[in-house]
Amino acid sequence: MPRVAVAAPLYDWSGAYVGGALGWANNSNRFAGGAAIPPLGVGGAVVFPTITKDGITGSFLVGYNHQFNQFVVGVEGDVGYRMVGEKRYNQVWGDFLTAHTNWGGSIRGRFGYAFDRALLYTTGGVAFQAAKATYGGFWGSIGLGDSVRWGWTLGAGIEYAFAKHWIAGVEYRYTDLGTDTYTWPAGFTHNLGVAGLSQSSTSNQVTGRLSYKFQ
């Protein structure tokens, strides 16, 4: 009897997984002055910097996917360290601004379309990062926030299941943490002539991913 060819079953993306991601991150911190303080009143004339820094990001991730037909929906969370260091900006009068982000993470939904073992997906949700900044000079320094900031993140990626339980991929994400405003405490000495500063923080990242699917 002739042999009947049997089609190999399509890969099933459903199930829980854990893994890690490693790649490049860019943090951008934009500063602007608050209300002018008389008699200094130079706030409108001061040009404030945008401080950017590139570096390495690494994170641990955990998630769950459910597949119906060729569509895949899921939820994923990640948290990790950002080794982007500190970027320092100096003005001609000797004052300085620094900004850096030590760690961050996100909780996101995922929606994708599977081509057997390949998956194209978009992802988005809530993001959090520890974005720290400092303003100072010869007179001393003051912290412009040293706590977790919340925002949103959106991105897309591609994954490939090269074995039953192992999945590799590449992902890009953009994150926006919004704007925080810092007001100087009473009696604070400075040279800017403004009542405080606002800081807007965004980041881009591209990571390679490797995960283990239990099911």
Number of domains present in the structure of the chain: 1
Residue type, 51: I
Triad 45, 49, 50: Cα angle to 5°: 145
Mean pLDDT per 10-residue interval, the chain, length 215 residues: 57 96 90 62 59 88 96 96 65 68 91 96 95 72 75 97 96 92 68 71 94 94
- Flag whether 181 is in a domain: yes
- Flag whether 159 is in a domain: yes
Per-residue model confidence (pLDDT) at position 18: 98
Domain span at 30: 24-213
Q: Which pTM value belongs to this model?
A: 0.83
Q: How far apart are CA 148 and CA 5, in angstroms?
A: 57
Residue type, 85: G
89 beta partners? 97
- Flag whether 19 is in a domain: no
Per-residue model confidence (pLDDT) at position 191: 58
CATH of the domain at 109: 2.40.160
Peptide bond into 49 cis (omega under 30): no
- Flag whether 13 is in a domain: no
Per-residue model confidence (pLDDT) at position 129: 87
Token pair for residue 90? 């100096």
- Flag whether 142 is in a domain: yes
Total Cβ atoms within 10 A of residue 152: 15
Q: Where are the alpha helices (DSSP H) in 8-91?
A: none
- Flag whether 157 is in a domain: yes
Helix (H, G, I), strand (E, B) or coil at 139: coil
- Flag whether 153 is in a domain: yes
- Flag whether 59 is in a domain: yes
Helix (H, G, I), strand (E, B) or coil at 197: strand
